[in-house]
Structure 1
Amino acid sequence: MGKLDGKVAVVTGGSRGQGASHVRRFVEEGAKIVFSDILADEGEALEKELGENAKFVRHDVTKADEWKHVIDEAESAFGPVNVLVNNAGIVVTKKFDELTEEEYRKVVDINQVGVFLGMKTVLPSMKKAGGGSIINVSSINGLRGAAGNSAYDSSKFAVRGMTKSAALEFAEYGIRVNSVHPGVIQTPMIEVEGSRDLVEQLKKTIPMQRTAQPEEVSKLILFLASEDSSYSTGSEFVIDGGVTASN
């Protein structure tokens, strides 16, 4: 038996990277899943790979009507939603005097408002399901600041606080809400042209002297999605190789 047998899950940003790893692990553990992304080609390929228990929906997380469509699709295909993983996110690295208002708002809309809309939209479905688990993917930059990351950091700090508020409100419905704070994960987000030297420098700042693989984060996400974490809510789960241990 899988840890998610009988569960219906929604994962955003699921076409590649960490999100795709979470989607694959959930299906392996028995979940029926709707995953979403703006990357349609990659999402459709992953849907085909995983078969009948996975459904892809193109989805802009900043749009309330598109959120409603995703939840409706999940209920229509599989039933009320038990698990939501708010994984979609972007990063813009610029100094304050270079960052435009448009860039700042875009990061906040995707990373922060998208999480708010997801939790708000899924709530009625989880009530119908009799409870559930919401996992909001923040970052170690939601625990500490970094120069050149004002937009990203502020959005990820907001996810951390919003998670705690939602956990207090949703507890009466049997819905748990937790945040996950990854450090440097080996995904396409950091595997851009010319980034190898930067990543090697980053590794030197990590006590474990390496980046994490997406599958390592998926194990933590699975724990929070399953009944193994039945008494955890409003909590921060850090997976960073020891980077924030001295904070």
Structure 2
Amino acid sequence: MSVVLITGAASGIGAATAREAVRRGHRVALADIDIAGASLLATVLGSAACAVELDIRDEDAWEAAFDTVASRLGPVEVLINNAGIIHTGYARQLSMAQHRHMVEVNLIGPMAGMMAALPRMRTQGHGHIITVCSMSSFMPLIGYTSYGATKHGLRAFHHSVAIEEQGGPVTFSIVHPPSTRTPMLEQEIADPSSVIAFAEKSLSPEQVASVIVDAIAKKPVEVVQPALAGRFQRAVGVFPRLMHFAIPKVAAMAKRRSPGAGPAPVTAREQGGSR
């Protein structure tokens, strides 16, 4: 069994992943900017878990987090980069500060985590980095401009580092969940600009968590969810003309399925987990 550090572990996919990892016998560090939420869950999970305060944008905080986990549970063997945020709204509606916030948390944050983990894992002779990305990494979606851009970038960075490190002691896996029933999805559903969230059946955090924890043992290169529809979406993303044709039609279909919620304030779910 492994020592696992999960970011965004206070709620959503991260919390579900922490519960599932402990259930399967792993020792788990719950890292989150919401230390109160992470601590509460760690208490429930018992001696196999601990909470660590972490703003993933802060390089020094990453180093401190790895040191803290090593002192409490042992050196980190598996890093699950899960934390993420979204500001809903069309690109023109968001401020540059909001666009920048998503880039800093969704892209720079996981990059900082990987760069902090990599030398430690190389030194100890083994390690596994699991990136929780998004199906939006394959296609540009209406209402998800900067969010999708960060996920495109995160996927590219993850695979580039994995290729650079081939033959080394660290393995890499990336998981792409679809729409997932978390507080982030509740925020998206409340905003008409994100109506495309209704285009697919959402999964529970527990369903996504099971796939993530499976990856600790199976070490897949890349996982899309759901398997068949995910492969189709990944293929569509290769062809720009097809995307420009298909995505507005999917959005129109999603609008017909939506409950017709009125406009909501543009806000963010802070580091609670990816879609």
TM above 0.5:
yes
**Mapped contact 2:8–2:84 kept (Cα < 8 A):** yes
Aligned mate of 1:154, from 125, 145, 149: 149
Kindly provide the CA deviation profile for residues 73-98 of structure 1, in whole angstroms up to 9, marking residues without a partner as x.
Answer: 11112222110000000011222222
- Which one-letter code corresponds to 2:54 in the other structure? H
Is the partner of 1:90 in helix, strand or coil?
coil
Q: Match for residue 206 of structure 2?
A: 215
- 2:193 and 2:150 map into 1 onto residues whose CA distance is 23
Is the partner of 2:28 in helix, strand or coil?
strand
Identity of aligned residues (%): 30
- 1:193 and 1:110 map into 2 onto residues whose CA distance is 18
- 1:73 and 1:201 map into 2 onto residues whose CA distance is 41
Name which one, 1 or 2, has greater alpha-carbon Rg: 2
- Which one-letter code corresponds to 2:202 in the other structure? T
- 1:19 and 1:10 map into 2 onto residues whose CA distance is 10
- Which one-letter code corresponds to 2:49 in the other structure? A
Q: How does 1:1-247 map to 2 (within 5 A)?
A: 5=1, 7-192=2-187, 195=190, 202-203=197-198, 205-206=199-200, 210-226=201-217, 228-229=218-219, 232=220, 235-240=221-226, 242=229, 245=232, 247=236
1:220 Cα deviation from its structure 2 partner: 1.3
TM-score (norm 1): 0.87
- 1:222 and 1:192 map into 2 onto residues whose CA distance is 26
- 1:124 and 1:165 map into 2 onto residues whose CA distance is 16
Kindly provide the CA deviation profile for residues 111-147 of structure 1, in whole angstroms up to 9, marking residues without a partner as x.
Answer: 0001110001011221233212111111111010112
1:199 Cα deviation from its structure 2 partner: 9.5
- Which one-letter code corresponds to 1:245 in the other structure? F
Q: Match for residue 263 of structure 2?
A: none
- CA change 1:141–1:78 in 2 (3 A) is same
- Which one-letter code corresponds to 1:116 in the other structure? M
**Mapped contact 2:21–2:28 kept (Cα < 8 A):** yes
- Which one-letter code corresponds to 1:163 in the other structure? H
**Mapped contact 1:14–1:43 kept (Cα < 8 A):** yes
- Which is bigger in relative contact order (C-alpha 8 A, separation at least 6)? 2
Runs of 4+ in 1 over 6 A off after TM superposition: 196-201
- Which one-letter code corresponds to 2:101 in the other structure? K
- 1:154 and 1:198 map into 2 onto residues whose CA distance is 16
- 2:196 and 2:63 map into 1 onto residues whose CA distance is 42
Report which of the two has the higher share of helix. Answer: 2
TM-score (norm 2): 0.78
For these two proteins, the number of residue pairs brought into alignment is 233
Gap runs ≥5 in structure 1: none
- 1:112 and 1:201 map into 2 onto residues whose CA distance is 23
- 1:168 and 1:243 map into 2 onto residues whose CA distance is 23
- 2:188 and 2:109 map into 1 onto residues whose CA distance is 28
- 1:91 and 1:190 map into 2 onto residues whose CA distance is 10
- CA change 1:224–1:196 in 2 (3 A) is same
Is the partner of 2:154 in helix, strand or coil?
helix
